[in-house]
Structure 1
Amino acid sequence: MTTTTPRLTGEYAIDPAHTRLGFVARHAMVTKVRGSFHEFEGTAHLDSEDPGNSRARVTIKAGSIDTGNQQRDQHLRTNDFLDVPNHPEITFESTRVRQVGTNEYHVTGDLTIKSTTRPVTIDFEYTGSAVDPYGNLRVGLEGSVAISRKDFGVNWNAALEGGGVLVSDRILLEFDISAIKQK
C-alpha cells in the first residue's frame, strides 16, 4: 500500500455488513450461477510502507452459502459439495503479500475447504480509504481467484445428455472487502 499514507498501517477487521465474499460457477455449461456467504469474520494487519509485512486471515461459515435458490443451497451444504456437518468452516490465511502495481497486490495463502488445504494467490486491488461518519478509518479491497473445486475434494457432478457436465470444475472466488482499522 505504498501509494497510501502511513496512517493506514495497523490492525483491521472485516466489516461483514459492507463486505461480500462470493463465487461464480458455470451451470449446465451455458450460464453462470452466483452466490455468496453471509457469515464470516476476518482480520488483517496492513503495512502501508512495507506491504510484505501485511497479513490476513478469514473464516467463513460454510453453511451460510446463498445462491438465491433454497433447494440448490441445501444440496451445496451436503457431502456432494461442502459437507457442512463435517466441515463447517472455510478458511484462508495469508503467507505472503507482494505489491505488483500502484494499487495491485498478490496475496498468497492457504485456502482450506473440506479439510483440504491448498496454496492460492488472490489478485487484489486497493480501492481506497475513507473515514466514515462514525470516525472509523475504512479501507477497500477487491479481489478474485479461480480455483478447481476438485482440488478441494468437491467432486460431485452430473453428465449432460449432449456432453459436458452440470457444474463447472472452475470456480471464481470474489472478494469485495471493507475493513475497519481497530483502535
Structure 2
Amino acid sequence: MTTLKDLTPGVWNVDPSHSSISFVARHLMVSKVRGEFKEFTSDVTVGDQLEDSKVSATVQLGSIETGSADRDNHLKSADFFDVENNPTMTFTSTKVTADTLEGDLTIKGVTKPVTFDLSFDGVSPDPWGGTRAGFEATTEVNRKDFGLTWNVAVEGGGVLVSDKVKITLDIQLVKA
C-alpha cells in the first residue's frame, strides 16, 4: 500500500477525464440535488515536505450540470452564481497535511477559508510510463457566506434550497 510519502516532489497535473468536482444541496429539505462542474484547471506542486505542497484551482461556473437545464440556467443567473459577472470560482491552498487541505475559496468575489477533509487513495504507475495519484477531499460550506442568498420559503416551513452545500473533489493527478 502506498502512502503520501510515496509522492514524488514536483509538479503534478490533474487528469480531467478521471477527476470531478461535485456538490450536494438539499431541495425542499427532503431530497438532495447533485451536480458537478465539468470545466476546471488546477496547479498542484508536491513539496519535499508535505507541508510545502501547494494547490490552486479555477472552476468555470458556467460548466455546472445538475441534470436539469432550467436549474442549471437558474444557478448561472444573478440569483446564484451570476456567471456573467463572476465566471469562475477559485481555491488557493494555505496548508496541506496528510488529513486536510486548507485554503481560501472565492465565489462571487467573496473569499472565505475552508478546510477539506483529505484522503489519499494511492499512487501507481500507469500503462503509458507515467505515475498517477488519487485523492478525495470533502467539505461543507454555507452558501450564504459567499453571497448566494436566493431562496424561497415553502408551505409548512423550510426553504427550497439548503444553506449548507457539501463539496467533493475526486482528483487523479499525473506526474509532470
Taking structure 1 as the reference length, what is the TM-score of the superposition? Answer: 0.92
Q: Summarize deviations over 1:15-61 as a string: whole Å, max 9, x none.
A: 111101000000000000000000001011113x5210111001000
RMSD of Structure 2 on Structure 1 (CA): 1.3
**Which blocks of at least 5 consecutive residues in structure 2 are unaligned?**
none
Partner of 1:26: 26
Give the 5 Å matches for 1:97-116. Answer: 97-99=96-98, 105-116=99-110
Taking structure 2 as the reference length, what is the TM-score of the superposition? Answer: 0.95
Q: 1:108 to 1:156 in 2, by over 3 A?
A: same
Separation in 1 of the partners of 2:82 and 2:4? 41
Q: CA deviation at 1:6?
A: 4.9
AA paired with 2:143?
A: R
Partner of 1:173: 167
Q: Which runs of 4+ in 1 moved over 4 A?
A: 4-7
Partner of 1:119: 113
Q: CA deviation at 1:135?
A: 1.3
Alignment match of 2:135 (pick from 131, 137, 141): 141
Give the 5 Å matches for 1:27-106. Answer: 27-47=27-47, 50-99=49-98, 105-106=99-100
Separation in 2 of the partners of 1:7 and 1:37? 27
**Which blocks of at least 5 consecutive residues in structure 1 are unaligned?**
100-104
